[in-house]
Amino acid sequence: MEQRRAVSTWIEEACAAGARLKPACEVVGLSVRTLQRWRGEDGIQDDARAAAAQGRTPANRLSEAERSTILEVCNGPEFADCPPSQIVPALADQGRYIASEASFYRVLRAPSHRRPEPVAATAPNQLWSWDITYLATTLKGSFFYLYLILDVFSRKIVGWEVFAEESSTHAAALFEQAHRREGVDPRTLTLHSDNGAPMKGATMLATLQRLGVAPSFSRPGVSNDNPYSEALFKTLKYQPTFPSQPFEDLGQAHTWVAGFVDWYNEHHRHSALKFVTPGQRHRGEDQRILLERSRLYETARAQHPERWSGATRNWQPDTVVLLNPGKGTPKKEVEILHNDT
């Protein structure tokens, strides 16, 4: 009821400001007839329709336990290779009835997107993340496409290019170049991405298989399954030198991105890396740098202990970086995932 009153008030305010009733209703997913029924003669009313009174839950709906049983039976060793049209009669011969054949098909067709399993990186070139972002051009409605491959452990950009179109072929070629340049051993690297066409194209997947790289994908429609690439794009587009005007051609876009990549890899002290650069982290130089910082702080505290109320600043490098940590992941490991902006 509270939601209905609020929605009705919003629509009234919109109409008072000049909006037409039908478009205002469509914005919130209502029909004019539904709004009229809500309002009635005595103000906002409860929905008196039978389905609403019953909670809109069909009486013949399968329980979660029954759905789980169907999935367990269909994926078990006895029926893993059989369609429901074969499974249901076979179960009947065993004296078992779980649900109708149609219900079996309906349960099997229902999408089930579980959170991806956590992937850990303890060194460079174990876990990469990549994505594509748009770069505006001077031609309205036309874009260039920036492909960026990021090492999750070190945050170093290990591969990039600007193209005039999205393509699985471009992605595969760029990835293979980065893979060769980094000298990655077979079956030691996982590549994470979203579910875009270039990411799941046949050419790209065949390249990953040939190079012994394990693909990892975000859940459909879930953007925060790929947080490292999203954070990198935010850093890129909020960079003060990011052009205020669209790019005129590929050459101009390529030149700007090259400058950004050099700054990001070799000059940007990354907050998630205890403020060393991604390049230093990738080459293992961060160990020495952070150790020297720690010693400096210990010396400063020894010289003026009255100025310190506790331990010195923590300069210990993170040894494990996780992608998609689950709810049960220890807080210390989850904190590693914070985005650098």
pLDDT at residue 7 tops 90: no
Residue 39 has a CB neighbour count (10 Å cut-off) of 15
pLDDT of 116 over the 80 cut: no
Question: So what's the pLDDT on residue 64?
Answer: 86
SS3 state of residue 158: strand
pLDDT digits (tens, 9 = 90+) for 292-315: 999 999 999 999 999 988 889 999
For 173-204, the DSSP string reads HHHHHHHHHHTPPTT--EEEE-S-HHHH-HHH
* Contacts of 197 by beta carbon, 8 Å cutoff, 6+ apart: 166, 168
**Residue 338 pLDDT grade (very low, low, confident, very high; cuts 50, 70, 90):** very low
- The pLDDT confidence band at residue 340, using thresholds 50, 70 and 90, is very low
Which tokens go with 277? 């650069």
State residue 309's pLDDT score: 87
Cβ neighbors of 260 (< 8 A, separation 6 or more) are 236, 239, 241, 242
The answer to whether 146 and 257 are in contact (CB under 8 A) is: yes
Residue 339: predicted pLDDT: 41
Domain with CATH 3.30.420.10 in the chain: 124-255
β-pair type (214-217, 190-193): parallel
Q: Is the pLDDT of residue 135 over 80?
A: yes
Q: Does residue 176 register a pLDDT over 50?
A: yes
CA distance 143 to 146: 10
**Which has the higher per-residue pLDDT, 311 or 158?**
158
Q: How far is CA 268 from CA 102, 188, 235, 313, in A?
A: 58, 28, 11, 20
CATH architecture for segment(s) 124-255: 2-Layer Sandwich (3.30)
**What is the rounded (10 degree) CA torsion for 237, 239, 241, 242?**
0
Distance of alpha carbon 208 from alpha carbon 221, whole angstroms: 23
Q: In the predicted model, what is the mean pLDDT of residues 140-151? A: 95
The overall average pLDDT reported for the chain is 86
**What whole-number distance in Å separates Cα of residue 308 and Cα of residue 290?**
20
What's the Cα-to-Cα distance from 305 to each of 295, 297, 310, rounded to whole Å?
15, 11, 9
pLDDT at 56 over 60: no
Write the DSSP string, 106-157.
Answer: HHHHS---PPPPPEEESSTTSEEEEEEEEEEBSSTT-EEEEEEEEETTT--E
Q: Which of 43-57, 80-94, 213-227 shows the lowest mean pLDDT across its residues?
A: 43-57
Residue whose structure tokens are 């993170």: 318
Of 77-91, 108-122, 129-143, 324-338, highest mean pLDDT: 129-143
SS3 245: coil
Give the integer Cα–Cα distance in Å for 122 and 126.
7
Mean of pLDDT values over 11-26:
85
Tell me which range, 64-78, 147-161, 190-204, 315-329, is most confidently predicted by mean pLDDT: 147-161
190-228 per-position pLDDT tens digit = 999 988 889 989 999 999 999 999 999 887 666 667 889
* Residue bearing the bigger pLDDT, 108 or 116: 108
Task: Give me the mean pLDDT over the 100-116 stretch.
Answer: 78
Q: What is the structure's pLDDT at 221?
A: 62
